[in-house]
Structure 1
Amino acid sequence: MLVKPRVRGFMCVTSHPDGCCKHVEEQVNYIKSQPKIDMPRRVLVIGSSTGYGLAARISAAFGGKASTLGVIFEKPGTSSKTASAGWYNTAAFHDHAEKSDLYAKTINGDAFSDEVKSKVIEIIKKDLKEIDLLIYSVAAPRKKDPETGDIITSVLKPIGKNISMLGLNTDKECIQKVELEPASKSEIDDTIKVMGGDDWSRWIQQLHKSGALANNFKTTAFTYIGDKITWDLYWDGTIGAAKKDLDRKVKSIRQQIKDINGDARVSVLKAVVTQSSSAIPVMPLYLSILFKEMKSRGTHEDCIEQLYRLLTTRLFSDGENYDIEGRYRVDDFELDRQVQKSVSDAWSNISDESLPLLADFDEYKRSFLRLFGFEIAGIDYSRDVDPEKVIPGIINL
């Protein structure tokens, strides 16, 4: 079939198998071009099919020669419908891992469920004995409570006040005002349950209890903080409340794994275009301005550059490379004072007329479409492709 991008709001409902494969290849080649990562060899990545989770798996496998176990929640293609981008990404990752003679196994199922946790533990005990590193990279709009069976939904709202902020209508390519009412107490609580630290803690608890964690085990979960421009909706809103819950839960996780000399840290990453960030009204405009500024300075990084830097200069480097809150930080280039001043100045002067001058919306659009395998150099998008791709040894739950 011929596959073209079909964008609905902040989602692209099609993905291109060849484009996704090439996008993964680009990331693999980047890691192979860098100095080797000195890190342990048994890694579990929860949420390993797109964005930062995929970059983490690629970095560990091709930079650190690690055996990787991935947990994804993706849809395969059919003869008449494309798979999700994460499915094609994972298929491509397996192809590269096989060529490099690297162990790779993937479970496709609900990471929040105890069924998936039990299956992962079973595979670890059988194939790897233990794991040395767990990377938690799950961003979900809802979850099924593993104990009650209730469906809990997260919301993207401010807390305690109405807000009015600038945004970018990505369909009409114009500046717009976004008005949002504050979340209720139950909406805040539910968002924390879905996007906070509960599931990360539950994973560690069950893995540790089963004896699947090695001595000197490390774990990290990803977060974003950003700067004041986005705080009303993000850091001071419901999503921020969930991310602050990670900071609370990580302390108890650290205590859980103290007996194996384990360590747990939250990792703060920079703003990039992901399927999750594109859904946040303020982010397309912020990212368009940020990209223009950071590219002009030569400091722009995407997921793969961020994860390589996180692993080499934070997780597996000498010394205590974390902030006063105990977090690893690789958002330093984004939060550079001069960068943020330039972004703030542009934000204050942005309009439909000044958008092309003060922001790089074309780069935002390109980055967004690349998530789904489009706008990838070297791909012939006029060619028919087979939407059905097999992931070797995939375990579907």
Structure 2
Amino acid sequence: MTERVIKPVGRGFLFLDSHPAGCEQVVRDLAAQVEARTPDKRPVALVIGASSGYGLAATIAGLVRYGIDGVGVSFEKAPARRTATAGWYRTAATAAYAEQAGRKFHFVNADAFADTTKDEVLDLVAKEFGPVDYLIYSVAAPRRVDPRTGTTYQSALKTIGAPYTTKSIAFEDGAPLLTEASLDVATDEEIAETVQVMGGEDWTRWVDALAERKLLNDGFSTVALTYIGSELTGPIYRQGSIGAAKAHLEETARTLSERDGVRALTSVNGAAVTQASSAIPGIGLYVSLLHKVLGEQMQTPIQQSIALWDQLTGEKAPDLDEDGRLRLDRWELDPAVQAAVKEQWDAVTQENIATVADAAWFFAEVRRLYGFDVDGVDYEAETEVDVEWPKA
């Protein structure tokens, strides 16, 4: 037993410790926002990237709304000198919820890119559940080791064609600062490596592994989560090296759907504060302005994940665009919303950033990623740090 008082310590948007009780409360709060259904059968699902962001939201929405059984995969650090990562504690809390709700959902802590992980996960699936109905792929990683060659690929956050400088947001002692961030042009090699990390190759390998083990159920569906975003963030995101990887992900969906017995889609989600997105220059300011414009009308990852499951299961008709992508971001890209955000973007200065942007909300959301600033948690009390990973 190792109990101690945990305070937020870090630099920028990265914290060295996370708060177990805060992370647990985040999971409870997310589950409380989902209305349960009574499905005819409990589907079997794999969620790759189940401990944070949209992957976590999809896991919780599936557990509560449709009673999914299955396996979630993520790669988190155990407690040592520092606390465990926030995803470790969120996973423990999600597993506890699943058990209390009578769901049979296991969690594997391992590198999703590795063939050994696929073997471990599918051995568990074959033993406990049988064929899989849904595979949700939500992986954001800085690097990937190709299991066939041992080559390490590194993703690059760079532009394509020309350098780009954008407004961005930072914080000093909790006060917002308007800054500038400049990105260099990616080389062809950097673009190719980013595609190797964040494109559709590993998604395909998961589907291949399921097919080889005859673990694709009739009506099998798989979805990879992606993002398009605003023209304001386009040069850095969708038109940059990451965008090339996202385009490959979408092409992969079309290729996978050509196979018998596979329905593959990409789900275009809306903007949110996640550990991945907060690290991208300009995104934090954009999301702060978006929330200022929309307020409570800004759809959260859990709301979007409910919509995702409703469309995957046929509860509601899929909202597809002309390229066959599920669109969960129409609220964000509504022309009136984008026009309002653009007006705020042009108007923001260091003098007015605290009022033009919803900077306080954004700062609190970043802290919530690590279990801080969560209502109902006593941050002066000692809390248990040595939380075990859920047993399979």
| TM-score of the pair, normalised by structure 2 | 0.95
Q: How far apart, CA to CA, are the structure 2 residues paired with 1:361 and 1:7?
A: 18
What's the counterpart of residue 371 of structure 2? 373
Match of 1:62 among 61, 64, 77: 64
Residue correspondence of structure 1 range 343-382 to structure 2 within 5 A:
343-382=341-380
C-alpha offsets along residues 287-311 of structure 1, whole Å, 9 cap, x if unaligned? Answer: 110011110xx41122111101222
Question: Is there any run of 5+ residues in structure 2 with no aligned partner, and where?
Answer: none
Residue correspondence of structure 1 range 263-302 to structure 2 within 5 A:
263-295=263-295, 298-302=296-300
C-alpha offsets along residues 296-332 of structure 1, whole Å, 9 cap, x if unaligned? Answer: xx41122111101222246534545311000000101
| 1:29 CA drift (Å) | 1.3
* 1:194 partnered with 2:197: yes
What's the counterpart of residue 141 of structure 2? 140
Residue correspondence of structure 1 range 66-145 to structure 2 within 5 A:
66-78=68-80, 80-145=81-146
* 1:209 partnered with 2:235: no
Q: How far apart, CA to CA, are the structure 2 residues paired with 1:267 and 1:386?
A: 37
Is the partner of 1:178 in helix, strand or coil? strand
C-alpha offsets along residues 176-231 of structure 1, whole Å, 9 cap, x if unaligned? Answer: 22222101110000000000011001110111111011010000000010110000
State the one-letter code of the partner of 1:10. Answer: F
C-alpha offsets along residues 10-38 of structure 1, whole Å, 9 cap, x if unaligned? Answer: 3122100000000000111111x455577
Residue correspondence of structure 1 range 231-310 to structure 2 within 5 A:
231-256=234-259, 258=260, 260=261, 262-295=262-295, 298-310=296-308
Is the partner of 1:236 in helix, strand or coil? coil
Q: How far apart, CA to CA, are the structure 2 residues paired with 1:355 and 1:39?
A: 50
Is the partner of 2:33 in helix, strand or coil? helix
Q: How far apart, CA to CA, are the structure 1 residues paired with 2:286 and 2:156?
A: 20
Over 3 Å counting, the alpha-carbon distance change for 1:173 and 1:388 in structure 2 is same
* Contact preservation (8 Å) 1:61, 1:68: no
* Contact preservation (8 Å) 1:105, 1:393: yes
* Contact preservation (8 Å) 1:314, 1:328: no
Over 3 Å counting, the alpha-carbon distance change for 1:235 and 1:38 in structure 2 is farther
Q: CA RMSD in A?
A: 1.5
Over 3 Å counting, the alpha-carbon distance change for 1:50 and 1:268 in structure 2 is same
| TM-score of the pair, normalised by structure 1 | 0.94
* Contact preservation (8 Å) 1:38, 1:312: no
Segments of 4+ in structure 1 off by > 2 A?
Answer: 33-40, 169-173, 313-321
Question: Is there any run of 5+ residues in structure 1 with no aligned partner, and where?
Answer: none
Q: How far apart, CA to CA, are the structure 1 residues paired with 2:143 and 2:41?
A: 33
State the one-letter code of the partner of 1:371. Answer: L
The percent identity for this pair of structures is: 36
* Contact preservation (8 Å) 1:57, 1:68: no
C-alpha offsets along residues 268-296 of structure 1, whole Å, 9 cap, x if unaligned? Answer: 0011000000110111100110011110x
Q: How far apart, CA to CA, are the structure 1 residues paired with 2:252 and 2:41?
A: 25
C-alpha offsets along residues 227-279 of structure 1, whole Å, 9 cap, x if unaligned? Answer: 100001100000000000011111111123x2x2x200000001100000011
* Contact preservation (8 Å) 1:94, 1:391: no
* Contact preservation (8 Å) 1:48, 1:72: yes
State the one-letter code of the partner of 1:265. Answer: L
Q: How far apart, CA to CA, are the structure 2 residues paired with 1:278 and 1:305?
A: 20
C-alpha offsets along residues 99-144 of structure 1, whole Å, 9 cap, x if unaligned? Answer: 1111011111110000001111111111111110000000000011
What's the counterpart of residue 334 of structure 2? 336
| 1:162 CA drift (Å) | 1.1
* Contact preservation (8 Å) 2:36, 2:66: no
* Contact preservation (8 Å) 1:37, 1:311: no
The count of residues paired between Structure 1 and Structure 2 equals 387
State the one-letter code of the partner of 1:22. Answer: Q
